[in-house]
Chain A
Amino acid sequence: MLASHYQINRPFVIRESFDDEDVIVNLDTGSYFSLNKTGTKIFNLLEAGATIDSASDHMIQTHTGDVAVIDLAVCNLIEQLLTEGLILAVERTESMDNHDAAPIPDDAEEKPAFTPPILEKYTDMQEMLLLDPVHDVDDSGWPARKPDSV
Chain B
Amino acid sequence: MSNNAPAHFAGELNERFEHASRRARQVVEFNFNVAGMIVRLCFAGEALVPAICRALDHLKTDATDKPALTINLWDTVSTHTPMLPAPFGIESYGPHGTISGYCNESYQTVYDTNYGILMMLDYSAKRAFWWTRDAAHLPAHEKASPLRTLLHLWTRPMNCSLLHAGAVGNADGGVLLVGRGGMGKSGTALACLAAGMDYVSDDFCILRDDPEPRAFSLYSTAKAGDATLQRIPVLKSMRDSPAEFAPHRQEDEKEVFFLHEHVPSRIVDQLPITAIVMPQVNDGAMSMLSPVSASFMTTHVGPNTLFMLPNSDVSTISIFANVARKLPCYRLLVGSDPTPIADTVASLLPTPHKRTELK
**A11–B84 touching, CB < 8 Å:** no
Contact of B293 with A142 in the complex, beta carbons under 8 Å: no
Q: Do residues A145 and B307 form an inter-chain contact, with CB atoms below 8 A?
A: no
Q: Among residues 127 to 150 in chain A, which have CB atoms less than 8 Å away from a CB atom of chain B?
A: 128-135, 137, 140-146, 149-150
B-chain residues with CB within 8 Å of residue A128 when the two chains form the complex: 95-96, 307-308
Question: Which of B143-151, B221-229, B258-266, B311-319 contacts the other chain?
Answer: B311-319
Give the chain B neighbours of A141 by CB distance below 8 A. 85-86, 89
For A144, list chain B residues within 8 Å (CB). Answer: 116
List the A residue with the shortest CB-CB distance to B247: A150
Check A18–B317 contact: CB distance below 8 A.
no
* CB-defined contacts of A104 to chain B, threshold 8 Å: none
Assembly CA distance A127 to B298 (angstroms): 19
Contact B299 A32 (CB under 8 A): yes
Neighbouring A residues of B298 by C-beta, 8 Å:
16, 18, 23
Among candidates A11, A25, A132, A135, residue contacting B303 with C-beta atoms closer than 8 Å:
A25
Q: Are A25 and B317 in contact (CB under 8 A)?
A: yes
Interface size on A, residues (CB 8 A): 34
In the complex, what residue of chain A is closest to B91 when comparing beta carbons?
A134
For this complex, 22 residue pairs linking A to B, each with C-beta atoms less than 8 Å apart, are A14-B306, A14-B318, A16-B295, A16-B298, A18-B325, A19-B295, A27-B313, A34-B295, A125-B306, A130-B95, A141-B89, A142-B111, A142-B118, A143-B90, A143-B93, A143-B113, A143-B116, A144-B116, A145-B115, A145-B137, A146-B114, A149-B114
Residues of B within 8 A of A (CB): 82-86, 89-90, 93-97, 111, 113-116, 118, 133, 137, 139, 247-248, 293-295, 298-299, 302-304, 306-308, 312-314, 317-318, 321, 325
- By Cβ-Cβ distance, the 4 closest A-B pairs, closest first, are A141-B86, A18-B295, A145-B116, A128-B307
